[in-house]
Structure 1
Amino acid sequence: MDASVIVVGAGPAGLMLAGELRLAGAGVILLERLLQPSGESRGLGFTARTMEVFDQRGLLPRFGEIETGTMGHFGGLPLDLGCLDGRQEAAKVVPQSATERVLESWATELGAEIRRGHEFVGLDDSGDAVAVRVHGPEGEYVLHASYLVGCDGGRGKVRKAAEFDFPGTEATAELLLADIRGIELPRRVAGASVSGGMVMSAPMGDGVSRVILSERGAPPQRRTTPPEFSEVADAWKRLTGADISGAEPIWVSAFTDAARQVTQYRRGRVLLAGDAAHIHLPAGGQGMNTSIQDSVNLGWKLAAVVRRSAPERLLDTYHDERHPVGQRLLTNARAQGLLILGGGDMQPLRDVLSELMDYPDVRRHLAAMVSGLEIRYDMGEGRHPLLGLRMPHLDLTVGGRATGSTELLRPGRGVLLDLADNDQLRRRAADWSARIDIVTARAPEVPESGPLAGTSALLLRPDGHVCWTAPGSHGDLRGALARWFGPPATTSGTRG
């Protein structure tokens, strides 16, 4: 084997996956056809859930000062995300190029091998391993690995080579995008309707503005190259009357409202993550954030399987957990597309939805949906309010030292959090101490009411989701440990 895992595509999903795999001790080679990072900024900013994910890996300081806020939108209608409880707010303007720089630095520090200028050509899944054909600077060669993961985007070759089904809806509209410098534009909110179509504009910092437009009735084009900036400027003038042709184009692109999702996220030894598995209208920047979270869900599971500490069936939970999330994303993105692109025909719906969003329950429901904070995985029967959800930050004292649940997740391992100094509990978990951290802690400020009230112990997966609690889970601790971390070993020991 040349590596335990080969990842194709050095975008946010591929880089995050490479880092997660290395954090869990799996060897990885990441293939990227481009010789240099593109510098493109398709995705802007992070949802509150992605901010939590980066925080639990200690990555937030690497981004420098991040502007955060609570205001977002749903289909262009203002939505205050501050109605949700959470430690993190959404990050406003972080270019995707900056995200890729941070994640690439992190992954390479952990030992990931990134091969730029090496393009995926084809594969052969023998059932026991996968052979990957690659075209590099010196010609074609073959790599062998236990698993291959396609993170190469909506037009990626891995999905096609492995013959994944990719059903969905065809594009009905095309949107043109340009990041421009040298001209001041008034801010236009997402989905601002004008005669003939939709326009939006927003500052991105450093004198750069982003414009997006769609002309109603213009059929989507099958493009193989980005549009010329003159095409964007001409359409902007037709729609708004303003001339932006004198601006300096930094990046120009086009996309559509097509919505597709693979029917399964894994076929044999080939898996997909990010846009390779799901495409949709990029409403509210959810695509990149969902892609990063796909990789966080997959990374520790794939590493456990290739390191033989967990059975292969653990990989089935990747599809089981992330496919519904992708399905939910496509549903809300299509709904937002109708509101943004529907013009005057959609105004009655916008008016009714605006009224509904004045109700706190509706506002919380939509905010949780677009921020990713509603995601709950199936952990079996149980009544604890946190079971299946991501662990909220909890201040802790461990061995006389102040820390928190977020910090305990930094190493990318599972955590058994013993809040009651229960020696019997720790002994039951000792056979898994090589794979999880068993931590005895005090939580001095747990409210008497709320999701953690009366909780004496929690088992956290490496992605931060709560998979067992005491009290509240119907199954025993050893059953939960075996399900998520493999059969018991003989090595034992605890920390705390």
Structure 2
Amino acid sequence: MGLCLAAELAGSGVRVLVVEVRESVEVRPKATVLHARSVQCLVRRGYGGDVVPVEWGTPAAGGSVAGMSAAGVSAAGGSVAGAPVGGVSVSCGSGGVGVASAGVGVPGAGVSEVGLGSVGAGAVSAAGMSAAGGSVAGAPVGGGSSVFHFGGLGGLVISAPVGEPVPVVRCVQAELEVGFERRARLAGVRVVRGVVVTGLEVEGDGVRVVGRGPWGVVSWRASFVVGADGARGVVRELAGFGCRSWPASARALMGWVRPSRVGELVAGWHRTRRGWVVVKEAGDGGVHVRTLNCSGGEVEGVRGRPVSLGELRGEVSWIVGRDVVLGEGRWLSRFSDFSRVAGSFRRGRVLLAGDAAHVHFPVGGQGLSTGLLDAVNLGWKLALCVRGVAGEELLDSYDVERRAAALRVVESTRAQLALMRPGVELDPLRDLFGSLMREGGAGGLGQMVSAQDTVLPVAEGSVSGCEGRFLRNVVLRTGRGVTDVVGVLRGGAGPVLLLAGRSGGCFVDQVRGWSRVVRVVRVASIPGVDCEALLVRPDGYIAWAADGGRGLDAALRAMLGPGVCGGPAGPPSAGVRSAGVRSAGVPAGSRRVAGSGTRR
């Protein structure tokens, strides 16, 4: 989701311009589920409550957060200590181009260290669960389990650890997009709508994007381009990305309808020997309906053709084996199980995210979550590169981490579709899966669907059991009081070094060269982790642990690349050109980045 990425970049002090093909956020019903790992990451980035409707459960008994301050780490939408930084453009979800340009500010020098006995310049934010909709007490709250489905079979239990939000969040994608756009605008993002991308050309250390809008031809030159322009977007093809694809073997229709007779379509997942009809109450006298026909892929010549109410009625009637009368319909569309994953999510200065990078059959509620995890993974990395405090090698890890995740989602959805095929020969397999889920023997499926089983690649030879894993939201006690992992990470622009106990002076020395990027936070202990120091990424994953067998300075060099201690990179800015009118110049030493939005 491009607007999430724009908010991430702007929240790190990067000025952003978003260009969208749509005139407004599309209200057509799309995704309605966010899974656990995406919610956990978004809460750590500061989007809980006003953007993502999280629930934390019943507060646990314990202490309070009295005496904590919000100094140091800026909340999302604020700025990093020092001048505003960087320039990135990102686009949101439906087609267009985003361009950004800005200067690079220099945060204060020295290691910002939150101590146990005394607090330095970078005090822990009192955000945490209290700011995200819960409460920080003597112990984390929340967690628990939600019941979901797998391949149309109910009873899949998805659990989250204590301290995390409930694992399945019901939400409306359009409302999320509005929330991310609001957050992005508050952080200074400029959103320009009604522009279609028509050209893309790499020019030395930048990329020129050409578009067409209501005022004619426009162009921007930027340091990077992010294609978040959806499954049918143009950036992927213009930039020459190769793809791996799986042809369609089933076809589907969807839309909002108002049945002519009461009880004509009952809410639920309905399987017949011809396919599936999935019905969900809309709350306005109508229902959302989806059909699944497994007799073959898309019919020749229908791709892109509008769906009529008569076509949807005929498909529903054929699947259920009786005449179904539909009196009204809107937002009718067609889709299939065609799947595609780009061969790389980065080609030099052009990157892909969301449906532009990966497409899969929309079952299991994984699409929206996967796209948002792309944005959370890429946002902090691209921001550091644009600010000139990290090498571009950091962007390669985005490709490695997120492409593997996308391939896994494709495998999961293809497996679910296999279970949904209506043949009687699959009944024993469905019975087996159903009994395993009811009896708790399919816990790994819940972790996979919710992406909570994700372990990131680690350095060769690492012996740590922590590196590459997600740090759950445990209570952390600092010299200023009680906080939690969410509170420490919320809104931060770079990694955090957690030091347990009063030792760790050697680690502080090793991190000084990266003081523009890394914050140091001293805590009494890290519950559940038998390690004296952890380097935690802004998205909550552990990049380095003291028990891994390599030095912190080596880990920082591998992550951030050479020259991290140097000044801002990039040539003097020439400004952004739009429709032949030169925009206001930007500070010297800036870098520009363009991002493309989603085409539907």
**TM-score tier after normalising by the smaller chain length:** 0.7 to 0.9
The question of 1:121 aligning with 2:198 is answered yes
Instruction: Work out the CA distance in 1 between the residues paired with 2:447 and 2:306.
Output: 34
Shift of 1:120: 0.9
Shift of 1:207: 5.3
Q: Which has the larger share of helix?
A: 1
Q: Are residues 348 and 195 of structure 1, via their aligned partners in 2, closer, same or farther at CA, if it must alter by over 3 Å?
A: same
Residue segments in structure 1 that go unaligned for 5+ positions in a row: 1-12, 447-451, 492-496
Match of 2:38 in 1: 50
Match of 2:271 among 193, 214, 220: 193
Shift of 1:223: 2.8
Conserved 8 A contact 1:196-1:215: yes
Conserved 8 A contact 1:172-1:256: yes
Match of 2:188 among 97, 108, 111: 111
Instruction: Work out the CA distance in 1 between the residues paired with 2:470 and 2:52.
Output: 25
Instruction: Work out the CA distance in 2 between the residues paired with 1:58 and 1:473.
Output: 29
SS where residue 155 of structure 1 aligns?
coil
Conserved 8 A contact 1:119-1:134: yes
Match of 1:461 in 2: 537
Of 59-68 and 475-484, the range deviating more from structure 2: 59-68
Shift of 1:482: 2.2
The aligned runs of 1:89-488 (5 Å cut-off) are: 89-180=166-257, 185-189=265-269, 192-205=270-283, 209-217=287-295, 219-221=297-299, 222-240=302-320, 241=322, 243-246=324-327, 248-357=328-437, 360=440, 362-380=441-459, 381-412=461-492, 413-422=494-503, 423-443=505-525, 446=527, 452-470=528-546, 472-487=547-562
Q: Are residues 443 and 202 of structure 1, via their aligned partners in 2, closer, same or farther at CA, if it must alter by over 3 Å?
A: farther
Of 252-261 and 236-245, the range deviating more from structure 2: 236-245
Shift of 1:104: 0.9
Conserved 8 A contact 1:174-1:255: yes
Code of the residue aligned with 2:11 in structure 1: it is L
Conserved 8 A contact 1:47-1:89: no
Shift of 1:90: 3.2
RMSD: 2.4
Q: Bigger relative contact order, structure 1 or 2, given CA contacts below 8 A and separation 6+?
A: 2
Code of the residue aligned with 2:489 in structure 1: it is L
Match of 1:78 in 2: 154
Conserved 8 A contact 2:45-2:491: yes
SS where residue 70 of structure 1 aligns?
strand
Match of 1:449 in 2: none
Shift of 1:67: 7.3
Conserved 8 A contact 2:53-2:171: no
Match of 1:59 in 2: 47
Instruction: Work out the CA distance in 1 between the residues paired with 2:267 and 2:343.
Output: 39
Q: Are residues 100 and 343 of structure 1, via their aligned partners in 2, closer, same or farther at CA, if it must alter by over 3 Å?
A: farther
TM-score, normalised relative to structure 1: 0.88
SS where residue 167 of structure 1 aligns?
strand
Instruction: Work out the CA distance in 1 between the residues paired with 2:385 and 2:12.
Output: 11
Q: Are residues 142 and 172 of structure 1, via their aligned partners in 2, closer, same or farther at CA, if it must alter by over 3 Å?
A: same
Q: Are residues 348 and 27 of structure 1, via their aligned partners in 2, closer, same or farther at CA, if it must alter by over 3 Å?
A: same
Instruction: Work out the CA distance in 2 between the residues paired with 1:475 and 1:64.
Output: 38
Instruction: Work out the CA distance in 2 between the residues paired with 1:219 and 1:118.
Output: 33
Code of the residue aligned with 2:343 in structure 1: it is T
Shift of 1:244: 4.8
User: CA offsets per residue over residues 36-79 of structure 1, 9 Å max, x none?
Assistant: 11112311120011111221122221147557961111111224
Code of the residue aligned with 1:459 in structure 2: it is L
Conserved 8 A contact 1:257-1:280: yes
Match of 1:4 in 2: none
SS where residue 61 of structure 1 aligns?
coil
Q: Percent identity?
A: 32
Instruction: Work out the CA distance in 2 between the residues paired with 1:103 and 1:403.
Output: 26
Whichever of the two has the greater Rg, that structure is 2
Match of 1:9 in 2: none
Shift of 1:319: 1.0
Q: Are residues 369 and 426 of structure 1, via their aligned partners in 2, closer, same or farther at CA, if it must alter by over 3 Å?
A: same
Of 146-155 and 337-346, the range deviating more from structure 2: 337-346
SS where residue 271 of structure 2 aligns?
strand
Residue segments in structure 2 that go unaligned for 5+ positions in a row: 57-144, 568-600
Shift of 1:462: 1.6
Conserved 8 A contact 1:387-1:467: yes
Return structure 1 stretches of 4+ with deviation > 6 angstroms.
none
Instruction: Work out the CA distance in 2 between the residues paired with 1:442 and 1:41.
Output: 47
Match of 1:17 in 2: 5
Code of the residue aligned with 2:195 in structure 1: it is H
User: CA offsets per residue over residues 192-237 of structure 1, 9 Å max, x none?
Assistant: 3213221111235565532111234365144324412332223223
Instruction: Work out the CA distance in 2 between the residues paired with 1:245 and 1:383.
Output: 61
**For this pair of structures, how many residues does the alignment match?**
468
Conserved 8 A contact 1:84-1:367: no
User: CA offsets per residue over residues 291-315 of structure 1, 9 Å max, x none?
Assistant: 1101111111112122221111111
Shift of 1:455: 2.1
SS where residue 329 of structure 1 aligns?
helix
TM-score, normalised relative to structure 2: 0.73
